[in-house]
Amino acid sequence: MRVLLIGANGYLGRYVADRLLADPAVQLTVLGRGDDADVRFDLATGSPGALTRFLDAVHPGVVVNCSGATRGGARDLTRHNTVAVATICEALRRSGCGARLVHLGCASEYGPSQPGSSTAEDAVPRPGGPYGVSKLAATELVLGSGLDAVVLRVFSPVGPGTPAGSPLGRLAEAMRRAMQSGDGELKLGGLGVQRDFVDVRDVARAVHAASLSAAQGVVNIGTGRAVRLREAASVLARVAGFGGALHELDSPPARLIIPGPSPEHGAAPPTYPYPDGCGTWQQADVRTARDRLGWRPRIGLEESLADIWMEAACRI
């Protein structure tokens, strides 16, 4: 099976590449902006015609899109998350390769949900920020393309390589600093938020399964269990061997605040309410992934947090 992977250098893309390379039946080609890509191509600026010519030359059976941006203004998010996907869809429509498209969406497309509820694929999307809007627009392009396509809506990915700017990445870095300086307590704010954390390696397994399946439409990828950030912080402290106290600051639950050195000139570091636009609660209904992909998560949160800590500890 010839697979074209787009976005192999990203957090999710690296593990998807590893998973696909582990399958001896897969012949993998990587397309991206970096020098290490098999083919250099910028989806945000490249034309559908140029991509079509490449698709016709390689003739992949599956195209996996892990590309995109999580930060930036509305213009950058639209260019990298929406325009790029429009380019992929148009190129696939023009090409004679007939490839199946596996596109990675995200839970931010849903927006806030009611505490205690599980969000199924038929929920009406109401993204709470520009990132979710840009990703939802991409999903709509895929679903309306007429292609053989599936969108995997990934909830909150965690595990090795977790970005330092993510909530759990910031927690690990704050704990590392506290242990390095010998602080006996760690003050944190905004730990009331609850998210469905799914290990990045399980996400890669889902992509592999989707590539081999006939599933179409939207499929949620999560664990089906929301975890309070406060609980994750306690588990992280245990796996890190942090013997100090965790004190929660009296701050709005929407924010994760970690006191520390300000970035420059004494200015306070910025904090943003619900940066993912998902409110205080999000939990996936994962029955579709089980029924249509034969997929279930295998890696528990404690293992994911232990791997996050191992990387953070290497910086001590």
Query: How much is the pLDDT for 82?
Result: 97
Query: How much is the pLDDT for 89?
Result: 98
Please give the helix or strand (H or E) that residue 150 lies within, else none: strand 149-154
CA-nearest of 294, 292, 278, 289 to 120 is 289
Query: How much is the pLDDT for 316?
Result: 53
Tell me, rounded to whole angstroms, the distance of Cα 5 from its chain centroid: 16
Q: Which domains does the chain have, with CATH numbers?
A: 2-159+198-225+282-298 (3.40.50.720)
Chunked in runs of 10, what are the mean pLDDT values of the chain (316 residues)? Answer: 96 97 97 88 92 96 96 94 97 97 98 96 96 97 98 96 86 90 85 95 98 98 97 94 84 46 38 70 98 98 95 72
Residue 29: strand, helix, or coil? strand
Cα–Cα distances in angstroms (integers) from residue 98 to residues 45, 95, 160, in the given order: 24, 7, 35
Rounded Cα–Cα distance for residues 232 and 108 (Å) = 20
Query: How much is the pLDDT for 313?
Result: 78
How many Cα atoms sit within 13 Å of 73 on the Cβ side? 1
Query: How much is the pLDDT for 249?
Result: 78
Tokens of residue 50, six digits:
């140029």
The radius of gyration of the chain's CA atoms, rounded to the nearest angstrom, is: 20
User: Which sign, positive or negative, has the C-alpha torsion 73, 69, 136, 230?
Assistant: negative
Query: How much is the pLDDT for 255?
Result: 47
Phi-psi region of 98 (alpha: psi -120 to 50; beta: other; left: phi over 0): left
